[in-house]
Each structure stands twice: as structure tokens, then as C-alpha cells.
């Protein structure tokens, strides 16, 4: 008897839903960038793109959490995921969506001029507190494989970001390049983190 696995038929319905959600979010992002083209900065555009990626990834992870086999493939485990693992995946999806909101909210609040900066910053402060609590709680509960993968992403993000920061900061001090704001740097680091996570995850799967 052959052990060749029979390829599973793709779920057309879910693919169409994901395509629709991606199109709606992408259209909204393009409209925001076009409508405020005169006031928006390049880093605001990157923040919008990062938020868009977070929303799409969160939606995909949330939908996959209701399918044990699909979630197991994402988590790179042999058996179907347990209800506890599915709940953790849904919580992670919610936090990913909240990250997207935290990235794009300062841009929207600034462009709209509402609410007042102090009240607008309350959203960011709330996200920071939630992120700290979630990180500490999940670090204690997760297994060694996930911890190692998190360390790999953090190490590569730190290495790439620090190397780029040293190169740019020295050029800035010498007057060779224009100055960056803390917002610019934060957006770039977050984008680097997401890109690094994608490449590290792809490497694990290929192995």
C-alpha cells in the first residue's frame, strides 16, 4: 500500500472570504492613503501596511482556530489541536488585530484631529498594558518549541534593526541623511519584526 498522502482539496469558500476581507481592508488602506496624500508621511504609509497585514493575519488565524487540522499544520504539530490550543490561537488573533489598531490609530487620530492627543494616546497606553500582560502570561504557559521560535524571531529582529540603526544613525550624525523620528523607527522595527517572523516561520516549516 502506498504511503503517498492525498492532497486535500482547497476550501473555495474560505479562500473567497479571505480574498474579500483582504480586498476590503486593502481598499480602505488605499483610500486612506489617497484621501490624505498631502498630510500623510511615508512612515504613516508603512504603519497602514503593517496594520493591514496584522488584520489579515488575525482574520486567517481566527478562522483556522475552528479547524483543528488546519491549525495543527500552522502550529507544526502532528495531531489535531486541542480546544485549549484553539482558544490560545483565537486570543493571539485578537491581540494581532489590536496591534493593527495600535499601529494605525495614531495616524487616523492625527489626520482627523480627534480625539485630543492625550485621549488618543490612551488607546496606545492600553495596548501596551495588554501586550505586557499577554506576553508574560503566554511565556509561562507555552512550550519550549514556541519559546525557541520566539527567541529566534526576537534575535533576528534585534540584529537587523540594530545594524540598520547604527548605519543610519552614523550617517544622520554626519549630515549625510535626514533625521528620523521615534515614530519612523518604531514603524520600521515593527515591519522588520513581522517580516522576520514570516521568514523564520517559513524556514521551520521547510525543515
pLDDT band at residue 173, thresholds of 50, 70 and 90? Answer: very high
Q: How many residues does the chain have?
A: 207
41-58 core/surface letters (b: 16 or more CB in 10 A; e: else) = eebbbbbbbbbbbbbbbb
Among 138, 140, 10, which Cα is nearest to 67's?
A: 10
pLDDT band at residue 112, thresholds of 50, 70 and 90? Answer: confident
Gap between the Cα atoms of 193 and 188, Å rounded: 9
Q: Strands (DSSP E) along the chain, which ranges?
A: none
**Mean pLDDT across 100-127:** 89
Whether the CB-CB separation of 95 and 131 falls below 8 Å is answered with yes
Contacts of residue 165, defined as CB under 8 A and 6 or more positions apart, other chains included, come to 185
Give the residue, 195 or 206, on which the prediction is more confident: 195
What's the pLDDT tens digit per position in 43-53?
A: 888 898 889 88
pLDDT band at residue 90, thresholds of 50, 70 and 90? Answer: confident
Whether the CB-CB separation of 50 and 190 falls below 8 Å is answered with yes
Q: Please say if the pLDDT value at position 28 is more than 50.
A: yes
Whether the CB-CB separation of 171 and 177 falls below 8 Å is answered with yes
Largest CA distance in the chain: 70
pLDDT of residue 5: 40
Q: Please say if the pLDDT value at position 108 is more than 70.
A: yes
Report the SS3 class of residue 76.
coil
Among 95, 128, 103, 106, which Cα is nearest to 47's?
A: 103
Ramachandran assignment for 25, one of left (phi > 0), alpha (psi -120 to 50 degrees), beta (any other): alpha
Amino acid at each position: 500500500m502506498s504511503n503517498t498522502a492525498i492532497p486535500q482539496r482547497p476550501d473555495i469558500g474560505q479562500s473567497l472570504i479571505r480574498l474579500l476581507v483582504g480586498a476590503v481592508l486593502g481598499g480602505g488602506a488605499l483610500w486612506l492613503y489617497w484621501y490624505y496624500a498631502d498630510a500623510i508621511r511615508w512612515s504613516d504609509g508603512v504603519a497602514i501596511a503593517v496594520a493591514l497585514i496584522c488584520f489579515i493575519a488575525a482574520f486567517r488565524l481566527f478562522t483556522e482556530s475552528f479547524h483543528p487540522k488546519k491549525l495543527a499544520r500552522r502550529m507544526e504539530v502532528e495531531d489535531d489541536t486541542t480546544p485549549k490550543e484553539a482558544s490560545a490561537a483565537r486570543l493571539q488573533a485578537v491581540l494581532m488585530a489590536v496591534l493593527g489598531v495600535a499601529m494605525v490609530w495614531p495616524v487616523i487620530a492625527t489626520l482627523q484631529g480627534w480625539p485630543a492627543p492625550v485621549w488618543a494616546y490612551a488607546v496606545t497606553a492600553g495596548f501596551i498594558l495588554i501586550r505586557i500582560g499577554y506576553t508574560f502570561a503566554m511565556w509561562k504557559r507555552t512550550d519550549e518549541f514556541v519559546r525557541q521560535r520566539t527567541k529566534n524571531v526576537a534575535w533576528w529582529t534585534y540584529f537587523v534593526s540594530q545594524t540598520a540603526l547604527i548605519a543610519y544613525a552614523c550617517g544622520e550624525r554626519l549630515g549625510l541623511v535626514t533625521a528620523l523620528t521615534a515614530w519612523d523607527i518604531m514603524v520600521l522595527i515593527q515591519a522588520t519584526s513581522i517580516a522576520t517572523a514570516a521568514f523564520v516561520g517559513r524556514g521551520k516549516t521547510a525543515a
